[in-house]
Structure formats: structure tokens, C-alpha cells
Structure 1
Amino acid sequence: MNHARTRLVMGNWKMHGSLADNAALLGGLVAGAQRAGSAQLAVCVPFPYLAQARQALSGSTVSWGAQDISVHDRGAYTGEVSAAMLADFEVSWVLCGHSERRAMHGESSALVAAKAAAALGAGLTPVVCVGETLSDRDAGDAECVIGDQLEPVLALGAESLSRLVIAYEPVWAIGTGRTATPEQAQAVHAFIRAALTRHGAAQTRILYGGSVKAANASDLFAQPDIDGALVGGASLVAEEFLNIAAAAA
């Protein structure tokens, strides 16, 4: 990896957590955060727990984020959460276009890019998720699908691209226990890096997500275009998450 790009290990709690469980997990992360070395550590928590995350993590080296954002500033949008609301909780990061949002909520790539723009406008760092399904990969269409997902994001321009993060998550490897081989992951990361480079953003960080765990993290991080990880289930266990962070360090 180009060492100008700081490693980033980010947990996505998805719809997991309780006040009691979170307190133990966040406390464990703060206690062990030094194991990440120079890598950045972050967790994206459900909206109701943003205040708890801020309280537990303020003053530590672990930052916090949200899992979604509205394209709207305010108004009659029941259930939506705006960029300004996230900023109120000193959120650093926000996931945009996670595969579960795309699949279950019908989010288009254009909407995902608009969410990223809303985040950038409030000083938040969007983490734009892209990735192909198993049928896409089996058909040889992975790069075509990811290229289409990236297109409206790339159109935001070099300045915006320099302030966001891309996360590559092969949908077939999320929560299935299947992981793309380091070589498969690197091939897609290189494809994304080339697209970013063409748009003047070669240094934009690209994370790998898809059943990342301590056992496979070192091999993934050894690849030149993998700048960190977006971690699902393993981020709910402090020791496992910190072991992944140590591999990034």
C-alpha cells in the first residue's frame, strides 16, 4: 500500500446493539485502541446510539459514524436523518449505499452519490459502498456493475473524491463466511483505483468488506490497493475487531 494513505478499520454494527452491550464493546475498544498503531479505528452505530458512542469515545482515538444519511436538509421526511443532525453528534463518517440499502431499500447509484454529496456538504466523510452479487461475478460482470455504481460518484469531481472513502464489498461475501481471496479483492481494488486515478483522486482510500476477520486480515492488508477494512460481524466483538486493527498496523 502507498503509505501516504492511512489505514482505516471501520466497524459496521448494522442493526445490532443495546445500551448495555454497547457500553462493554465501546469500553473494550477504547482500552485496546493502541493496538491499531497508526491505523484509524471507527465504528458506525445505529442512530439511537450515536449519543452513547460520542460519550464513550470522545477523547479516544476511536471515531464514530452513522450507517445512512438523508439527501434532504430538513422537512416532512419521516424516519430520515439529516447531515446536520449527524453533525450534532460529532459524527465523522457515514456509510452511503451499503449493499443492504441498495438491495432492501432500492437505493440507486444516483441516490447514493447524492447522499455522499450531502455528507460532504456537512463536513462528514462518506464511505461509499460498491460491490457485485454472485450472479454478477459468475457472469463476468463484476467490473461492469461496479463501474456503473461508481459513475455518479466519480462525477462529483476530484475535490469531492479526495474527501470520501470507497468500500468494496462483494455481496456474495457479506455474512456468508465466504471471503474473496486476497487476489480477487486486489483485482477489484486495482480496477477502482484506476477509475479514481482517471478522475484525479489516486489517493482516495479503498476499504475491503466481506467477512473480514482476524484470520484473513493480514493477507488482505498485504495487497497494494487495500487500504483497510469495513468489518461487519467481527466488529461486534472487541477482541476480534482489535486483532483486525492490529493486522492493519
Structure 2
Amino acid sequence: MRRKLAAGNWKMNGTTDALVQVKALTDAHPDPDVDLLLCPPATLIAQMAWARGTHALQIGGQDCHAADSGAHTGDIAAAMLKDAGASHVIVGHSERRADHGETDADVAAKAAAAHAAGLIAVICVGETLTQRDAGEALQVVTTQLKGSLPEGATAANTVLAYEPVWAIGTGRVPTTDQIGEVHGSLRGTLRDLMREAEGVRILYGGSVKGSNAAEIFSVADVDGALVGGASLTAADFGPIITALENA
């Protein structure tokens, strides 16, 4: 049985004042029946790790460099994230792929670096609206998965997140049939790529909120969510967590 995961990606949002949301979240969900993960800006990782206290809330980074160290101004190595208190790191988010030109090979190298540092890699895949309308969604996400999954990936060190690019931050959400089709295809591809395919959690991301979370979580092979804006406050993230606990 795969344990459900509610993950929040704060993106480029949040300063020290925002850490009050961590206390509010952990107070409201002191002993959750699902795994909780927040990925704040790198500047807040250490402070958030301290703010959670003894709560089981896990902390993650939003990106890492493929190299262990070196002349890479502005970048952060996976080991640095681990040292700051992170247990996970997101790699291959569509915003990184689009804004920074990251390829599947880049994502695979970052995921491998995360694994080497003892981090769980949250590998993101997803199609654009043009690709969806052209009937290429399954081909796109399958190709991304095959190219982004590094050697040595296991159910223990890897989480997969399906985020249709056209649904991120737009309020648009695929139908449950569309989500189920993609998640089922990703599960099938995982079976072709690794022995532990049934243990890998596949999250859905893209305009998830309290009002639609229960419907999304009812879909087969949806093991949780990677949430953007709705994870910034305990008031918005809490109902999603509750929906996942009840799924």
C-alpha cells in the first residue's frame, strides 16, 4: 500500500513571516494519516525545519544542481539542501523546463544527484495545452518519464508528479478521466522501467484546491498532490490534506 503524500511547492514566495503558516499547519494536523511535505524557497529551508519542531512534516527544496560543488554561482547542490534540513527536492518542474530550458537529461542528472545526497527526488512531468489538444499528452509524459528517471531510482528515493502545464495556476483542471488516463499510463511505463513500480507514488498537480481535491483523489493511481498556491497558507492547504486523508 502506497502511503499518500500531500506536497506543497511555495515557488518564489515567502519570507520569515510566512513561517507562522507552518505552526498553523502542524497545529491543525498534529498526527496526519498522510505524509506532508513543504518545499519553500531555499532561504527558508533551515528555518522551516526548525519551525516544525518534532512534527513529521518533511521539508524539500525546489531544485538542485547536478554537480556536487563548483563554480556555479547562484546554484545549490543537493548535499547543501540535505545539510539545511531537506529530505526531498523537486526536479523537472515545468517552470524550470520552460524558463531555464531544462531537458530530460538535465532532470535525470539532478535526480541522480539528489539520490546520491540522500534526498528523495520528486520528478515532474506534464504536457502543454498545445500538446494536449494535439493528442500527444501520453506520448509527451511517457517520453519525459523515460528520459528523466535516473538509474538507481526506487520507490524509496523517487516520487513522480504529473502536472499538466496548462492547469498550473490557471484554475483549469483535467477531467478525472484525463487524470486517470495519464496516471495509468505513467504506472504502466514505470512497470517497464523498474521493479518497484507499484511502490512509486504518483502525485497530481495543477490547480488543486479544497473544493476539487476529493474528486481528484478518488482517481486510481493518484497517490496525492503537488500543490502550488494553495499550499501557501494552512487555511487553504488544510482542506486538501483532509481530503487526502479521507480518500
Aligned partner of 1:138 in structure 2 is: 133
How far apart are residue 170 of structure 1 and its match? Answer: 0.3
Q: 2:27 aligned with 1:5, yes or no?
A: no
Aligned partner of 1:212 in structure 2 is: 208
Q: Secondary structure at the match of 2:198?
A: coil
Q: Secondary structure at the match of 1:215?
A: coil
Picking from 224, 227, 232, the partner of 1:228 is 224
Q: Residue type of the partner of 2:22?
A: L
Q: 2:170 aligned with 1:176, yes or no?
A: yes
Deviation sequence 1:25-62 (CA, Å, 0-9, x none):
1111111123x732011100101111111110131121
Q: Secondary structure at the match of 2:28?
A: helix
Following the alignment from structure 2 to structure 1, what is the Cα–Cα distance between the partners of residues 113 and 150?
14
Following the alignment from structure 1 to structure 2, what is the Cα–Cα distance between the partners of residues 67 and 247?
24
Contact 1:194 1:202 in 2 (8 A): no
Following the alignment from structure 1 to structure 2, what is the Cα–Cα distance between the partners of residues 161 and 46?
26
**CA RMSD for the aligned pairs?**
1.3
Deviation sequence 1:141-174 (CA, Å, 0-9, x none):
11111111111234525x5355200000000000
Aligned partner of 1:37 in structure 2 is: 32
Q: How many residues align?
A: 243
Following the alignment from structure 2 to structure 1, what is the Cα–Cα distance between the partners of residues 107 and 39?
17
Contact 2:131 2:137 in 1 (8 A): yes
Identity of aligned residues (%): 48
* Structure 2 alignment gaps of length 5 or more: none
Following the alignment from structure 1 to structure 2, what is the Cα–Cα distance between the partners of residues 149 and 169?
12
Following the alignment from structure 1 to structure 2, what is the Cα–Cα distance between the partners of residues 155 and 103?
21
Following the alignment from structure 1 to structure 2, what is the Cα–Cα distance between the partners of residues 24 and 92?
21
Q: 2:29 aligned with 1:18, yes or no?
A: no
Indicate the structure whose relative CO is greater, using CA pairs within 8 Å and at least 6 residues apart: 1
Deviates more, 1:93-102 or 1:193-202: 193-202
Deviation sequence 1:113-141 (CA, Å, 0-9, x none):
11001001111000000000000000001
Deviates more, 1:239-248 or 1:54-63: 54-63
Contact 2:92 2:123 in 1 (8 A): yes
Following the alignment from structure 2 to structure 1, what is the Cα–Cα distance between the partners of residues 156 and 79?
21
Picking from 178, 185, 189, the partner of 1:191 is 185
Q: Residue type of the partner of 1:164?
A: T
Picking from 217, 237, 244, the partner of 1:241 is 237
Q: 2:116 aligned with 1:121, yes or no?
A: yes
* Structure 1 alignment gaps of length 5 or more: none
Q: Residue type of the partner of 1:105?
A: H
Using the size of structure 2 for normalisation, the TM-score is 0.95
Using the size of structure 1 for normalisation, the TM-score is 0.94
Following the alignment from structure 1 to structure 2, what is the Cα–Cα distance between the partners of residues 241 and 68?
22
Q: Residue type of the partner of 1:5?
A: R
Deviation sequence 1:91-129 (CA, Å, 0-9, x none):
111000100000000000110011001001111000000
Aligned partner of 1:97 in structure 2 is: 92
Following the alignment from structure 2 to structure 1, what is the Cα–Cα distance between the partners of residues 64 and 178?
30
Following the alignment from structure 1 to structure 2, what is the Cα–Cα distance between the partners of residues 207 and 92?
17
Q: Residue type of the partner of 2:177?
A: E
Following the alignment from structure 2 to structure 1, what is the Cα–Cα distance between the partners of residues 143 and 91?
15
Q: Secondary structure at the match of 1:165?
A: strand
Aligned partner of 2:159 in structure 1 is: 165
